[in-house]
Structure 1
Amino acid sequence: MSRLKKYYFLSTIISITILNTINCYDTKSDDDACYRECEGTTFGCKTKLIYWNGEDVEGVYKLNNGIINITCTFDSLPRSVNVRWKFKRSPYVLSDSSVNNYIGNDNVYEKLKCHQLEYTHSCNVSPDHVQRAFSTCVLNVANIDMTGFYKCEAIDTNSGIVLAQSNEIAVKVIGIQSVRIYESKLIPQKSGYVQLEICANSLPRISWLTNSVVLQPEESKHLFSSSPITKIPNINEDTKIIPRMQPLNALEKSDPFCYYAQLFISNVDKQIENLKVSLAIEAEVEIRHLNIKIEDVKENSGMINNCYNKFNVLTVIAFLFLMI
């Protein structure tokens, strides 16, 4: 390479380096087409929330019924902002219940993932060429875990700093999320139990429906006895039907929306397979067939007899071997 070419190549590298260094300190990026100087304008250098429909959205929603549709708009200078949606789980929001001993790590806001998200921004909204950012977050009411607080934030596009935010709104989703058999022991002609896990908001009114009686929690009728509703499951001993509560620290790990109900049966028979449970929240009543099955003792006894017969045969063979 000639000296002239080397000089030209070196000059080009130095020029590119200088330009890149200047760009690093430039407050206006090349792709920020909407950038406007804010000094001396009526609006000033700031970000301001100008629309928020939170008051219209706040309230109580039924599970699997409708949508949550929240919108916010920010004006800003010198450049437009990003809009971020946040959610803070709070199980007892908008609740008139005296239950407030929930222990959890949900006292912080987390980024909200919208089922449908719209974001637009426009330039030159006013004589001051104010930037306007608009966002709508749509959520399907599909889970009671959506109960809590919602808000939107205006985020600086360069630094990620929160420049402005809306006030928070409270949303409560009510309904029965799930019902499942947590544990059961049903041996014919023996005492047994069925323990349910019911996840719902709020605490439902629970009734056990048997072929002969209807029981509320803490009631005893005929062959049945119902335990109190608890926030953590009972631990039942195998040899005796004696419920034992789990350690108190188990409450910290429990789901605030889940409850446990247990039915004791003094003498299990085939009719227990028709057991149902009635769950009522406000005016809504739902009846669930539990589809439980009692244990097949014939199968178990057959296995025991088979093992016993094999043991006898082996014993005889061993005895004859010793006699030789």
Structure 2
Amino acid sequence: MVNMSCEFSSLPEPATVTWLHKAPNSISWVDFPCSNKDETKQCRETEHRVTSRCLLRTNSLTMTGTYRCQATTSEEKNKAISSEFNVNVVGIEKVAVLHYHLPFGRLGYIEAEVCANPKPEIFWLTPDAIVRPHTGGSAFVSATHLHPKKVLHIFECFIRNIRVWSMAAGVEKFTACVGIRMSAIP
């Protein structure tokens, strides 16, 4: 969670405060609803002071970006803009199996998609081992590349494959283990 606040003074009436978000690589600012918004107004003869506090629950990678607040008076005659706050949300957005075909005793494959920030590490697991890339034998071979499928402004979605030369008896499931190396976070 991120707590942001801004304060504006105005005359002759208190200003209306709105919160704005701009995604990375975007030029547009858009209104967004705070998870929780609290405002206090102090009205005096010499000024009207409005303090706005915005609680941002960073539960999605799409919340990465730049935030600011702006104050406007009635009929938008006057506008003031705060300094900007940068927020970088780190985590794993989704893991999905896109395709799989695992016939017993034959060539098969599994393809998974992972959306994360920063680039994730993905390992394939059987119930008793980590699947390592290799070319011999009758067991498994894992694709060695993790390549971007699509970029969604702030985070990337990656595809990871595992190719199975021959489904061995006793192996009933594969698991994709996804992690983010903390040293990769700026």
**1:282 Cα deviation after fit:** 2.6
Contact 1:153 1:162 in 2 (8 A): no
Contact 1:151 1:166 in 2 (8 A): yes
Corresponding residue for 1:69? 3
| % identity of equivalent residues | 26
Contact 1:231 1:254 in 2 (8 A): no
Report the secondary structure of 2:49's partner residue: strand
1:144 aligns with 2:61: yes
More helix by share: 1
1:18-167 mapped onto 2 (5 Å cutoff)? 67-90=1-24, 106-124=26-44, 129-159=46-76, 163-167=79-83
Matches of 2:117 and 2:167, distance apart in 1: 32
TM-score in terms of structure 1 length: 0.50
* Larger of the two Rg values belongs to structure: 1
1:214 aligns with 2:131: yes
**1:80 Cα deviation after fit:** 1.5
Q: Which has the higher contact order (CA 8 A, sep 6+)?
A: 2
Give the unaligned 5+ runs of structure 2: none
Question: 1:199/1:273 Cα in 2 relative to 1: closer, same or farther (>3 Å)?
Answer: farther
Question: 1:228/1:168 Cα in 2 relative to 1: closer, same or farther (>3 Å)?
Answer: same
What do the CA deviations read for 1:217-264 (whole angstroms, capped 9, x no partner)?
xx33553131411222xxxxxxxxxxxxxxxxxx57898432111111
Q: Which amino acid aligns with 2:20?
A: K
1:176-255 mapped onto 2 (5 Å cutoff)? 176-210=92-126, 211-215=128-132, 219-222=133-136, 223-232=140-149, 251=150
**1:208 Cα deviation after fit:** 1.7
Q: What value does the CA root-mean-square deviation take over the aligned residues?
A: 2.5
What do the CA deviations read for 1:172-231 (whole angstroms, capped 9, x no partner)?
11112221111111111221111111121111122222345433xxx3355313141122
- Give the number of aligned pairs: 179
Contact 1:183 1:196 in 2 (8 A): yes
Give the unaligned 5+ runs of structure 1: 1-66, 91-103, 233-250, 285-324
What do the CA deviations read for 1:246-300 (whole angstroms, capped 9, x no partner)?
xxxxx5789843211111111124544331223221349xxxxxxxxxxxxxxxx
TM-score in terms of structure 2 length: 0.84
Corresponding residue for 1:259? 158
Contact 2:118 2:155 in 1 (8 A): no
Q: Which amino acid aligns with 2:81?
A: Q
Report the secondary structure of 1:220's partner residue: coil
